[in-house]
Structures are given as C-alpha cells and as structure tokens.
Chain A
Amino acid sequence: MSATFDRKVHNTLADANLQLAIYRATGRLIDHRKQAVTPEALPEYQELRAQANALKRHTIDHLDHYLERFEANVTAHGGKVVWCRNATEVADFVLGLAKERQARLIVKSKSMTTEEIDLNERLEHHHLQSVETDLGEYILQLAHQRPYHIVAPALHLTRYEVGDLFARTLGVANETVVEKQTMIARAVLREKFLAADVGITGANFLVADSGAVVLVENEGNARLTTSAPRIHIAVAGIEKLIPRAQDLAVFLKLLGRSATGQAMTVYTSFLSGPRRGDEIDGPEEFYVVLLDNGRTRLLADSGKRESLYCIRCGACLNHCPVYRKIGGHSFPWVYSGPIGAIITPQFMGVKFEPSLPFASSLCGACAEVCPVKIDIPKVLLDLRAEVKQDERCSGVNRLERLAFKVWAWVMCHPRVYEIAAVVAAGMAPAEGRAWLRKVPTPMNLPPVKAWLSQRDLPPAPARSFREMWRRR
C-alpha cells in the first residue's frame, strides 16, 4: 500500500463526522434504489439488466462500426465530431475554438470524463474561465476539491462548511440554511449561464443511429448549459455509445433507479446537432469530442473489456463496504469505489496504485447491483493476478515470495509441519482461552505485526488434531 493511500484511508477512518456522512448518504441511496427495483415497482428489472448487458457487449465488440455511424449522423445534422487521444488534445481543441470565436466564459455541467482529464485546470491555466454549474460540483470548484462520489459529488461537506465557503469565496453573508445556500448559487450561476459563450457537458449516452448526445440530470444546469450559450461541446469517452434511440427504453429505466431510485430524473435531454432552421433557440454550433485516454488499451483485453460497459450510476459505491468506510477521496484517481478500483489500474497501469485491486472484500455486492452486470469481483481478481505478475517480473516482494515458498514446503512435509506447529504454539502461548492480539517479540516481525493489527488469532489448542487422531 502506498503511503498516500494508507494515510488517506486512516484519516477518513479517524474522522467520525465524515464516517457518519458517508454512511448516511450511501445508506439513503441504497434505500432509494431498493424501493425502485422491487418486483412490484419494476417487474422486468432483471430482464432489463440482461438486455443492457447484451446491448453494451454488442456495441463495445463492434465499437469501430458504431463510432463511424455516430460520426456520420452527427455530421448529417450539422454537428462536428472531434477525435482526441488524450487530455492535451481536448484542451487544445477547446482553447483553439474559444480563441477563434473570441469566447471568454465557459459554463460546464457535471462530467466525470472532464474530471478525468482535468479540463477546468487546463483551461484556467490559459486564462479561460470555466465554471461548474451542478450545485455540488460548483461547491467543489470553489473548494478546489474533486468529487467524492459519482452522483453525490459533495456528500462529504456539511452545510456549515458550505456556508463558510460561500462567505469566503462569494463575499455573501454566512448562510447555513440549505434552501438559501441553493438560491445564492442559483443567482450567481444564472448570470454565468446568460453571459457564457460556450457550454461544455459530458454525455450519459451517445446514440449511434441518431448522432445524439443524451444527458440525464435533476437540476436543469445541463439544459441551461446546452441551451443558453451559442456553442455546445460534449466531451465523452468512446465507450458511451449505444446503437439506437429505442435502446434508451432500457438504459433510462435502469440509470435513474440505480443511481438515486428515480424512475426518471427531472430532465432527460436528447440533443442532435445545432439549432435547426425553424427552431427559436439553442446553440449555433455543436461539437462532440470522442475521447480515448486509455480506453482502447482496455479494449484489447477481452477478459476485462466489460469494465467499459459502466454507465456511471454509482450503485456499486453505495453498496461497497470498503467505499462506505474509506470514502471517495481515499481512492487515488477520480473514479472511486469498486468501479474505480477496476478502471483506475486499467487506465493508468497497475503500478499507479498496486494495492487498489486488493482494497476489496470481494463480497460481490457491486456485481449484484450493477445495472449492466459488470462482474467487478472477477475483474478485481484478474487485476490482483496482474499486480503479482508485475511484482514478480520487477523482482519486488522477494520476501513475500520466499515466505510462500517456505509455507508450501512446510505444508507438503507432514513431519516438518507437526514440529512447526508445536514450535509456533510454544512461541505464542495462549493466555487463558483468550484470542491472540499479538505474538511475542521473536515472531512479531513487520509482516506478522501488520497482519495481526487487523485480526485476532485463535489460541493454539492444547492438543492438535493429529495428536488426538493418533490417540483415538
């Protein structure tokens, strides 16, 4: 475990208020989802999951075809597709366009893909202001933090912290009533919407047969971002494609319910191209940035390819016993929870944080609630094997390998095993029948110590099974 990961985890565990906030927020999301997918509320739930999985599998397995179809349809409706390999290419495109159109202000709606490439920071570095407009994301931008959760980005902050933050950064009175805080943000952001030249969004889905970007939200900020400014840019990973508009009947039913328990979120926008001849409002220019940023590397591995099926509902985070204790900011990259644990090593390489695939109890709750049926525990196991393979090749953890070799040899030699058991029991004597919390100094070496810091050892019995067997 890297020192940073370790420190963040321990800080989170030690913060009682934060523990309560995470537990409450995820608990509420669990309840809402549960009520929305009962057999009474949604009899066809399992059928929809199977269909969503089949559709994603088909699309990802034929991704080149659907990317080309999508591009052709965007172009046919007067929009433009921009292909980007990485963060730099996206920033260059946005900066170039902004310069050409003399744009000074950008409004942005929530997008994990733009978090992934630090788009705001890159634009601000070139003196182009980019304002987040989702309430939670706006708060985080003011606080210079990254999202804590895929769908509830600011769940770790209290209203008092938000009050202090608004007072400090916006020069308003310190307000702790949430309704009033929301209205402060509404007023500030409304001006930004009306003044902005460019709106940047992500995409929940890209519809190949329509050349459309689908956005799902509750606040209305994505609608404003795509309706008020004269340029709309959607930044999306290449895996966001679905074949047909009609397939939304499957995905929209699953996404809202899995994320927040909503049968439909407040606003679902289906956007294809700039404003047309007889339409009164809407953007004059429409761009879709198709981003690779590591996705094609992942695509090549057919065993783990299903990681790209994710529709970012966040259900696996809420149901993960590890996420619920260590929280979102302990994770080393923008994606947290079980989905973060499988896509981070694949996007960034296993060396980025080798202990990440091990930060799981493999209980399987994530796979059970995943609306597109990604087998997250299986992918985690594959990644663990990769981490170990990588360590083997680079010759680290020789001690661990040696220990397991010795262990294997002992286990294969019954006489040696028996002697070892007697010696071990002698070195860690039972105090009464109490569980062992630590063993005496000669054996209390760092690996054993670390292991026992989280676990209690049962005391050795007075007589071993083998002994009892012999004396039966």
Chain B
Amino acid sequence: MSREHILHTVRTALKRGAGQGIAEPPPVRLRVPEVDPDTRVARMLSRVEALAGKTLRAPSMDEARVYTAEVLGGRSAVASNAPFLRECGIGGLPGVETGFTDSAALRARCAVVDVGITSADYALADTGTLVMLAGLAEARLISLLPPVHIAVVPAARVLSGLDELLTLVSHPAEQTSSMVMITGPSRTADIEQILVRGVHGPGEIHVVVVG
C-alpha cells in the first residue's frame, strides 16, 4: 500500500503518468587509458605501499609461495578456493586450511586464524585496489575476519583502473551477489582524527603480483 502511495506521490510531484517512458539518460562516461602491463603492475604496487600495504612482484608462482610461507611464519591461515592459489601450491603450506564449502565451518575458522589468503578477480593499478567477486573461489570472510590478509594475483589481472573494470564487468550483479573493492588495510580516524589501522578488517595487507 505504501508502495502505491509513494509511487503515486512521486509521479504527481514529477507530473508523470504511470508507465510513461523516459528521456535518454546521459551517456555512460568511461575512459580507459592505454597503460602497458609493466607500468600497471608497478603503479598498483606503489599505490598499495602508499597505503602502508606490503608488496612483492614475484616472477614465478614458486616465489609467491615462498613469500607467503615467510609471511605466515608458521601461523595459522585460511586460504580461499581460488584455482590460482592451488596452482601456486599455497593451499599445501603448513598451517594453511583450504577447501571450505560450508558457511558455518568457514566462519568458525576465519574467526580464529591469524591470516586470510585470497587471490583477486581483478586489481586496479591507479588506486591499488583488489576486486573480488564472491563465489565458490572467493568467500567474503577470508579477506575480512583474520587480522592479516595476503592476496596473490596474476599480473594479467591488473587493470588500469575503475573505468576499465566497469567496462569489463558492466553488470556485476549478473555474476555475483557481492563484488568488493579493497584498497589498503582497514582504517579509522574517528578519535581525534588519529589514523589507526585494523579497526574491524585486517590491519596488515600483503599484495603479491605474480608474473
């Protein structure tokens, strides 16, 4: 009933009839610059570092695995089901649990482990952003509950920026119920504008770009 009331009031206010067509909306504005792959990766990593994230450009998957093992240093971790992490052999590292498909089990582990390891569907060079579409490969809580987040991403997935992402993924809702963009560690400045990292999400973030 409120639905009809609100829609009716809106139409009356705008002097429009029910089902009346609309004028053409302003055209979509997307500008995708040409940036060569090496520059993209370098820019991506420097942006992450500017936000106090740690980075590595790993020439091979082996080196990505070695770095991840070093950061873990024997601590406990949950890794996502991303095929790329499996290819890197990260799921097999000591202390790393992976292969979760049950919501309750995943959540229980993510709440207690030290590190969450994910890949990313895309990365945005000009802002240092990781883009993750929730699905079987990436769960939401792995990059959120543990205090440390490691993301291992193939170089080919590094895009120039938001405009390129929205050109490639024009309708995120067709692919997932949740697309999240992560730019640096969780932070707040709510008390006296003093910057504190790790307020609710991970306070430490590592981005490894492979290749």
Whether B182 pairs with A157 at a CB distance below 8 angstroms is: no
Interface presence of B42 (CB below 8 A): no
Contacts of A67 in B (CB 8 A): 6-7, 10
Contacts of A115 in B (CB 8 A): none
Whether B191 pairs with A181 at a CB distance below 8 angstroms is: yes
Q: How far is the CB of A258 from chain B (nearest CB, A)?
A: 16
A182: which of B3, B12, B28, B188 is its contact (CB, 8 Å)?
A: B188
A219: which of B173, B187, B193 is its contact (CB, 8 Å)?
A: B187
Of A53-61, A357-365, A377-385, A437-445, which stretch is located at the interface?
A: A53-61
Whether B183 pairs with A264 at a CB distance below 8 angstroms is: yes
Whether B191 pairs with A300 at a CB distance below 8 angstroms is: no
Select from chain A the residue with minimum beta-carbon distance to B201.
Answer: A220
Interface presence of B26 (CB below 8 A): yes
Whether A246 pairs with B170 at a CB distance below 8 angstroms is: yes
Whether A272 pairs with B173 at a CB distance below 8 angstroms is: yes
Of A247-255, A344-352, A460-468, which stretch is located at the interface?
A: A247-255
Select from chain A the residue with minimum beta-carbon distance to B9.
Answer: A296
Interface presence of A449 (CB below 8 A): no
Whether A63 pairs with B166 at a CB distance below 8 angstroms is: no
Complex CA distance for A28 and B194, rounded to whole angstroms: 11
Select from chain B the residue with minimum beta-carbon distance to A227.
Answer: B140
Of A276-284, A406-414, A419-427, which stretch is located at the interface?
A: A276-284
Contact (A186, B200) CB under 8 Å given A249-B166, A264-B183: yes
Contact (A299, B14) CB under 8 Å given A62-B23, A266-B187: yes
Q: How far is the CB of A273 from chain B (nearest CB, A)?
A: 5
Q: How far is the CB of B37 from chain A (nearest CB, A)?
A: 21
Instruction: Tell me the A238-275 residues at the B interface (CB within 8 Å).
Output: 238, 243-250, 252-253, 262-275
Interface presence of A105 (CB below 8 A): no
Instruction: Tell me the B30-72 residues at the A interface (CB within 8 Å).
Output: 30-31
Whether A276 pairs with B29 at a CB distance below 8 angstroms is: no
B200: which of A159, A220, A265 is its contact (CB, 8 Å)?
A: A220
Contacts of A59 in B (CB 8 A): 25
Contact (A209, B171) CB under 8 Å given A64-B14, A65-B22, A281-B106: yes
Interface presence of A44 (CB below 8 A): yes
Contacts of A270 in B (CB 8 A): 172-173, 178-181
Interface presence of A35 (CB below 8 A): no
Contacts of B127 in A (CB 8 A): 263-264
Main DSSP-derived SS at the B contact region: loop
Select from chain B the residue with minimum beta-carbon distance to A278.
Answer: B136
B16, B102, B129, B193: residue with the most chain A Cβ atoms closer than 10 Å: B193
Q: In the complex, how many residues of chain A place their beta carbon closer than 8 angstroms to a beta carbon of chain B?
A: 100
Whether B172 pairs with A210 at a CB distance below 8 angstroms is: yes
Complex CA distance for A380 and B184, rounded to whole angstroms: 40
Interface presence of B111 (CB below 8 A): yes
Complex CA distance for A361 and B184, rounded to whole angstroms: 39
Contact (A83, B177) CB under 8 Å given A154-B190, A252-B162: no
Whether A264 pairs with B198 at a CB distance below 8 angstroms is: no
Contacts of B170 in A (CB 8 A): 245-246
Contacts of B101 in A (CB 8 A): 280
Contacts of B199 in A (CB 8 A): 135, 182, 185-186, 219-221
Contacts of A89 in B (CB 8 A): 2
Whether B191 pairs with A182 at a CB distance below 8 angstroms is: yes
Whether B25 pairs with A243 at a CB distance below 8 angstroms is: yes
Whether B2 pairs with A83 at a CB distance below 8 angstroms is: yes
Complex CA distance for A249 and B171, rounded to whole angstroms: 13
Contact (A223, B140) CB under 8 Å given A89-B2, A273-B177: yes
Select from chain B the residue with minimum beta-carbon distance to A28.
Answer: B193
Contact (A62, B30) CB under 8 Å given A227-B144, A267-B180, A290-B6: no
Instruction: Tell me the A47-106 residues at the B interface (CB within 8 Å).
Output: 47-48, 51, 54-55, 58-59, 61-65, 67-68, 73, 77, 83-85, 89
A265: which of B163, B183, B190 is its contact (CB, 8 Å)?
A: B183
Contact (A248, B162) CB under 8 Å given A77-B177, A224-B144, A282-B134: yes
Whether A271 pairs with B200 at a CB distance below 8 angstroms is: no
Whether A263 pairs with B126 at a CB distance below 8 angstroms is: yes
Complex CA distance for A59 and B22, rounded to whole angstroms: 10
Complex CA distance for A264 and B126, rounded to whole angstroms: 10
A21, A243, A264, A290: residue with the most chain B Cβ atoms closer than 10 Å: A264
Instruction: Tell me the A295-350 residues at the B interface (CB within 8 Å).
Output: 296-297, 299-300
Complex CA distance for A68 and B19, rounded to whole angstroms: 10
Whether B177 pairs with A58 at a CB distance below 8 angstroms is: no
Complex CA distance for A278 and B188, rounded to whole angstroms: 33
Contacts of A245 in B (CB 8 A): 166, 170-173
Instruction: Tell me the B124-164 residues at the A interface (CB within 8 Å).
Output: 124, 126-127, 129, 134-136, 139-141, 144, 162-163
Complex CA distance for A176 and B30, rounded to whole angstroms: 47
Interface presence of A211 (CB below 8 A): yes
Interface presence of A367 (CB below 8 A): no
Q: Which B residues lie at the A interface, using CB under 8 A?
A: 2-3, 5-7, 9-14, 16, 18, 20, 22-23, 25-26, 28-31, 81, 100-103, 106-107, 111, 124, 126-127, 129, 134-136, 139-141, 144, 162-163, 166-167, 170-173, 176-194, 196, 198-202
| Selected A-B contacts with CB under 8 Å, 21 pairs | A21-B192, A51-B26, A63-B10, A139-B190, A179-B196, A185-B199, A190-B111, A193-B200, A207-B173, A219-B201, A224-B144, A227-B144, A249-B162, A266-B201, A267-B180, A280-B103, A280-B139, A281-B106, A286-B177, A296-B9, A300-B13
